[in-house]
Amino acid sequence: MTDTRPGPASATPAAAGAREPVSHARLVASKIAHFAAALFLFVLAIQLMKKGAQALAPRLESSGFFDNGVSTLGLGWMGAYFVLSGSPIAATALTFRAANGITELQTFTMLSGSRLGASFIVLLVGFLYAVRSPNRRESLGMGVLALSMTALVYVPGMVLGYGILRSGLLDGMHWTASAQLQGAIDAGWGWIVQLTTDHLPHALLFPIGLGVLLVSFKLLDRVLPSLDGERHADSRGHWLKKPWPMFFLGCLAALLTLSVSVALTVLVPLASKGYVRREEAIPYIAGANITTLADTLVAAMLLGSTSGVHVVLAEAIAVALITIVLLAFAYRHVQRGVMALDEWVVGTSLRLWLFVGALFVVPVALMLAGQMIGPIGR
């Protein structure tokens, strides 16, 4: 009599099929848990920083680094280098503004500085890739390109944006969290803030809140879509070469990841493996530099700072207008000019190191110049 019972080999596919839904369910549950924790910590961080800023605000005047818009431009720039992200520094500027510790101009320039320094991580990752990649020029060039494109739109964007801010065009916009939402925040997070306030010096609340904010962004990195450049290899000959699809892809990437650092860093492996050329990435970088302000706008609304919301909106509108005009009417000129600078910088090690040195010299010089100028507008 023949034994027709299924053996181990026939049971294996069924068992694998049974395990697959369980594994997927665990992955979904893990992402939901990480997102909930990230959201909870994000709101908590804003509340702690808000409370701590009220204690630190009177001391800012004597620090020398918050005397004027020149100082805060350099401070925001350097701050983004140290935390390898612009968003925490932008949130810092908005928090101090909500506590009336700095002026509207200082908030605006500190926010702009945080954006200028946010792309530094792309160059850093480029260095790391260059060590183990034969395509050293592309890896390093992508970092130089990201920093150059950011400066190209944000430097004139500061002028136009501050003009929009001062013109009063945004005065009618009051985009702050509703009373119901603020009540829910007080009920859900207020007891933690109060407990922390009762047991710690108020001056420590701000740095603690900044640390919590960094942790929340790390948790979000585990939840948000993985931007793996290798997945786009097959489509390189199609839409990765077209400016406007790349522009909208950059907008979407920064909006989903809530970080221009994450959205742009993916370009390094793309370029290193030859899936996208640097000149093709210019519109992508331009798009990411606009929507990266989304989380900053949310932070301003949670802080209940109408002035902070106006600062973020003015910056976003200005950068969007300049970017769209450049892509629509001067794209080829921009592409040639930026790539000429990029090729010149990565052409020799000496020029590359001079470029890196300038990245640190300029913000430090701004901070020192601001101290020499002294207090303005207080």
Q: Residues 292-326: pLDDT tens digits?
A: 898 899 888 888 889 999 999 999 999 999 999 99
- 231 pLDDT band (50/70/90 cuts)? very low
Q: Are residues 331 and 117 in contact, defined by beta-carbon separation less than 8 angstroms?
A: no
d(CA 323, CA 316): 10
Q: Which residues contact 246 (CB under 8 A, 6 or more apart)?
A: 239, 240, 280, 281, 282, 283, 284, 287
Query: Region 105-123: what's the mean pLDDT?
Result: 92
3-state secondary structure string, 67-94?
CCHHHHHHHHHHHHHHHCCCHHHHHHHH
HEC states along 156-169?
HHHHHHHHHHHHCC
| Long-range pairs of 130-136 with CB within 8 A, sequence gap ≥ 24 | 133/272, 135/271, 135/272, 135/273, 135/274
Chain centroid offset of residue 177 CA: 22
Let me know if residue 37 belongs to a domain.
no
Distance, in Å, from the CA atom of 96 to the CA atom of 84, rounded to the nearest integer, reads: 21
pLDDT at 227 over 50: no
Number of domains in the chain: 1
Asked if residue 182 belongs to a domain, the reply is: no
Name which residue leads in pLDDT, 13 or 262. 262
* pLDDT confidence band for 224 (50 / 70 / 90): low
* C-alpha 186, offset from chain centre: 27
Residue with tokens 């260095």: 127
- On whether residue 262 sits in a domain, the answer given is yes
Q: Cα separation of 340 and 46, whole Å?
A: 42
Domain annotation covers residue 133: yes
Give the pLDDT of residue 64: 65
* CB of 298 closer than 8 Å to CB of 90: no
Mean pLDDT of 183-190: 79
In tens, the pLDDT along 119-162 reads: 888 888 888 777 666 677 888 888 899 999 999 999 999 999 99
Q: Which two tokens stand for residue 281?
A: 């990435």
> In this prediction, what percent of the chain has a pLDDT beyond 70?
82
Q: Which residue has the higher pLDDT, 10 or 245?
A: 245
Segment among 248-262, 278-292, 356-370 with least mean pLDDT: 248-262
72: nearest Cα among 56, 53, 50, 92:
92
Q: How far apart are CA 72 and CA 259, in angstroms?
A: 21
Query: What is the per-residue pLDDT for 75?
Result: 93
Residue 253 structure tokens: 């990437």
**Integer Cα distance of 256 and 224 in angstroms:** 7
Would you say residue 333 has pLDDT above 80? yes
Which range scores top for mean pLDDT: 12-16, 167-171, 326-330? 326-330
CA distance 47 to 300: 12
Q: Which domain holds residue 245?
A: 65-177+226-373
Q: Of 22-26, 54-58, 71-75, 79-83, where does the model show the most confidence?
A: 71-75
Whether residue 242 lies inside any domain: the answer is: yes
Instruction: Give the number of other CB atoms < 10 A from CB of residue 364.
Output: 12
| CA torsion through residues 250, 253, 257, 258, sign | positive
How many other C-beta atoms can be found within 10 angstroms of the C-beta atom of residue 12?
A: 11
Asked whether residue 360 is domain-assigned, the answer is yes
Tell me if 33 is assigned to some domain. no
Tally of CA atoms within 13 A in the half-sphere of 26 that contains its CB = 5
Helix (H, G, I), strand (E, B) or coil at 46: helix
Tens of pLDDT, residue by residue over 167-180, are: 989 988 887 766 66
- Residue 231 belongs to a domain: yes
